[in-house]
Amino acid sequence: MDLSPSGEFTLKDAYHIANANDLKSMTRAYREECIWKIPALPKIKFFLWQCSHESISVRVLLANRGMNIFPLCPACNSAPETIIHALRNCPKAQSFWNSFSPPCSAASFYDTQLMVLWLHRNNLVFGKSATQKDLKAETLVKAAKMAKFSPLT
């Protein structure tokens, strides 16, 4: 997959990524090139880089590395927890994504959504979240804070 002739990340690129069955379906060079060009905070770029290198601790990857861990998703208990499942295919993730309409501005809003979803998953796994938070409100607050303090805007 190549970037558009202008070097921009297009809707076609996003569609291809959204419909990928796994992260390996995109070439490593494409993933690297796209990640570092995203107008986002460094910690979000690093999180995306970790996802593309399959280095975030989802249960399937931990089991493949020899940990004695139950591989099903802790949020839905219906499918193995892969990165794609945790961030896109899980019913809880789908509910989260469907609660938003496309943003009018703020190119890194999608990245903020990914981070909030991942942090919520971590709170669930490690028992730090006793109540169901309003993830949409949390995402909007974090996006506003990032936009306010970001040198990118």
- Across 13-31, average pLDDT: 60
pLDDT of residue 108: 54
pLDDT confidence bin for 27, thresholds 50/70/90: low
Q: What is the pLDDT of residue 104?
A: 45
Residue 93 resides in a domain: yes
- Residue 72 — very low, low, confident or very high, per pLDDT cuts 50/70/90? very high
Is 69 contained in some domain? yes
pLDDT score recorded for residue 117: 84
Domain presence at residue 67: yes
- Residues 135 and 98: their CA atoms lie apart, in Å, by 12
Counts of helices then strands in the chain (DSSP H, E):
8, 0
User: Looking at the domain assignment, is residue 19 inside a domain?
Assistant: no
User: What's the whole-number mean pLDDT along residues 17-24?
Assistant: 60
Whether residue 97 has pLDDT greater than 50: yes
In this structure, is residue 72 part of a structural domain?
A: yes
Lowest mean pLDDT among 65-69, 88-92, 104-108: 104-108
Q: Residue written as tokens 């999608």?
A: 110
Task: Give the pLDDT score at 113.
Answer: 80
- Measured in residues, the chain has a length of 153
pLDDT band at 115 (very low <50, low <70, confident <90, very high): confident
Q: How confident is the model at residue 153 (pLDDT cuts 50, 70, 90)?
A: very low
Could you give the percent of the chain with pLDDT greater than 90?
20
Q: Report yes or no on 145 lying in a domain.
A: yes
Tell me the H-state helices in the chain: 11-18, 28-37, 42-52, 59-64, 83-84, 91-98, 109-125, 135-149
Is residue 6 situated within a structural domain? no
Domain that residue 111 falls in = 38-149
Split into its structural domains, the chain has a count of: 1
15 inside domain = no
Q: Is the pLDDT of residue 63 over 90?
A: yes
